[in-house]
């Protein structure tokens, strides 16, 4: 696998929570941010989208209690909290980082603008894209694919709490087989839970390879950026 110059890293909210499953595991976040700072220092341009699952799981937890649009907006706020936390840790470590938001939220971050985002990336800043896509009914997976296409990223790095793409849920099916490489078409045909359907289709249409790997070892980020075969490649 080739190495990448500009990437969009999608980090799941659950991965940031570590073994606690909710909230923040700041020891893990600090380790992740050290790796991100190192990667940025080596010349990789990094955009980041963070999910909100450590705080809110949308209609899964709100079904029948919270209307879908409201639930999705709560999820957007969860991503803002995650981006603020990670951005602050990056800055404490001496990295240049900023938050850009899909919707106007005074004091949280600058309103997202594609041209400015690319300028910041080219200047060596790590840019965290908060607030999802800014619209309900779209997940942070779709936001990640959208931002990756907009900033002309070479690839999407999907840092999850699982180490790749499997034929079935390995936590439920011990016979599940892990793929080293798989096509977008097969992911869609098999309905594999890599990203949601809209995100997978968007990545496929824009020829964006997706590297899926476990964040439990944050050094995996550097391995993927160096072109090592880690996790699963969807292309």
Q: Are 147 and 99 in contact (CB under 8 A)?
A: no
- Output the CA–CA distances (angstroms, integers) from residue 39 to 5, 27, 57, 92, 193, in the order listed: 10, 19, 30, 16, 28
Confidence band for 143, pLDDT divided at 50, 70 and 90:
very high
Choose among 44, 26, 24: nearest CA to 224. 44
Q: Which residue has the higher pLDDT, 76 or 63?
A: 76
Q: Considering its fold, how many domains does the chain have in total? A: 1
Q: Is residue 1 situated within a structural domain?
A: no
pTM for this entry: 0.93
Q: Is residue 205 situated within a structural domain?
A: yes
Confidence band for 171, pLDDT divided at 50, 70 and 90:
confident
Minimum mean pLDDT among 9-23, 24-38, 40-54, 199-213: which range? 9-23
Confidence band for 229, pLDDT divided at 50, 70 and 90:
confident
Q: Which residue has the higher pLDDT, 39 or 66?
A: 39
Q: Is residue 199 situated within a structural domain?
A: yes
Judge whether residue 156 has pLDDT over 60: yes
Distance CA 229, CA 169 (A): 21
Question: Which range marks the domain in which residue 127 is found?
Answer: 6-234
Residue 209 maps to which CATH number? 3.40.1160.10
Percent pLDDT > 90 in the chain is 74
Q: Is residue 61 situated within a structural domain?
A: yes
């Amino acid at each position: 696998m080739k190495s990448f110059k500009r990437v969009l890293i999608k980090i799941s909210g659950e991965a940031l929570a570590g073994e606690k499953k909710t909230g923040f595991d700041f020891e893990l976040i600090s380790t992740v941010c050290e790796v991100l700072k190192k990667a940025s220092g080596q010349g990789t341009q990094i955009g980041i989208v963070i999910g909100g699952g450590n705080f809110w799981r949308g209609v899964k937890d709100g079904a029948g209690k919270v209307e879908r649009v409201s639930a999705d907006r709560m999820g957007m706020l969860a991503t803002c909290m995650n981006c603020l936390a990670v951005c602050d840790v990056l800055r404490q470590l001496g990295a240049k980082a900023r938050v850009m938001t899909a919707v106007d939220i005074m004091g949280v971050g600058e309103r997202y603008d594609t041209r400015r985002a690319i300028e910041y990336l080219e200047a060596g800043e790590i840019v965290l894209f908060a607030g999802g896509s800014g619209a309900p009914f779209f997940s942070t997976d779709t936001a990640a694919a959208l931002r990756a296409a907009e900033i002309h990223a070479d690839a999407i790095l999907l840092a999850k709490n699982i180490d790749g793409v499997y034929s079935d849920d390995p936590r439920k099916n011990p016979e599940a087989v892990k793929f080293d490489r798989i096509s977008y078409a097969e992911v869609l045909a098999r309905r594999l839970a890599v990203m949601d359907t809209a995100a997978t289709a968007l990545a496929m249409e824009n020829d964006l390879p997706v590297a899926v790997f476990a964040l439990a070892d944050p050094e995996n980020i550097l391995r993927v950026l160096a072109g090592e075969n880690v996790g699963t490649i969807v292309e």
